[in-house]
Amino acid sequence: MKADGLLLPAELSRELVRVARAALPQEACGLLLGVDGRVRAIHPARNRAGAEGGRRFELHPVDLMRAEERARERGWSLLAVYHSHPEAPAVPSRSDLEGALPGCLQLILSLRGGRPTDLRLWRYAGGRAVRVELAECSGV
Ligand SMILES: [Zn+2]
């Protein structure tokens, strides 16, 4: 695996789909926690953009803080931010690019009619997104 890629256990990939479906028609968002590029937990966050936010997301700051605490307690770190794109491709939108932390990994799950169609990992740097390797594995 490339140094900047992520390894996502299949069980957590399914959990991600569940939380994304539960948030419909809004975008789901949250954090991926883990260590050494391997995701250990999905930490859902409230989307502060709300129902009126349309096609965008904003991590609730309290949930972000809780994710950081949970990671610290277990010796993990925040590996990436995830969010879903209901009825849109797993490609960063303009607001995703504008709101991104430089160098931060972003995982985007695309859903069509409530079914997952694509899962892509991106790194934002210098105002653009570069696709990064995402590998799925079995076990957690
Ligand atoms: Zn987006």
pLDDT tens by residue, 67-108:
999 999 999 999 999 999 999 999 999 889 887 777 679 999
User: How far does residue 65's CA lie from ligand 1's centre (Å)?
Assistant: 21
Spell out which residues have Cβ within 5 A of ligand 1, the ion: 93, 96
Going from the N-terminus, what domains does the chain have, and what CATH number goes with each? 6-137 (3.40.140.10)
Does 44 score more than 70 pLDDT?
yes
User: How far does residue 94's CA lie from ligand 1's centre (Å)?
Assistant: 8
Provide the Cα torsion 110, 61, 56, 28; round to 10°.
30
Average pLDDT over residues 114-118: 95
User: How far does residue 50's CA lie from ligand 1's centre (Å)?
Assistant: 14
Residues 6+ apart with CB under 8 A from 34: 6, 40, 41, 76, 77, 79
- What letter represents residue 95's amino acid? S
- H helices present in the chain, as ranges: 10-23, 61-74, 94-99
User: How far does residue 23's CA lie from ligand 1's centre (Å)?
Assistant: 14
What pLDDT is attached to residue 2?
47
User: How far does residue 88's CA lie from ligand 1's centre (Å)?
Assistant: 9
Please give the DSSP secondary-structure letter assigned to residue 101: P
What pLDDT is attached to residue 76?
96
What pLDDT is attached to residue 100?
79
User: How far does residue 59's CA lie from ligand 1's centre (Å)?
Assistant: 12
Q: Is the pTM of this model over 0.85?
A: yes
User: How far does residue 101's CA lie from ligand 1's centre (Å)?
Assistant: 14
User: How far does residue 86's CA lie from ligand 1's centre (Å)?
Assistant: 9
Place 1 in a pLDDT band, splitting at 50, 70 and 90.
very low
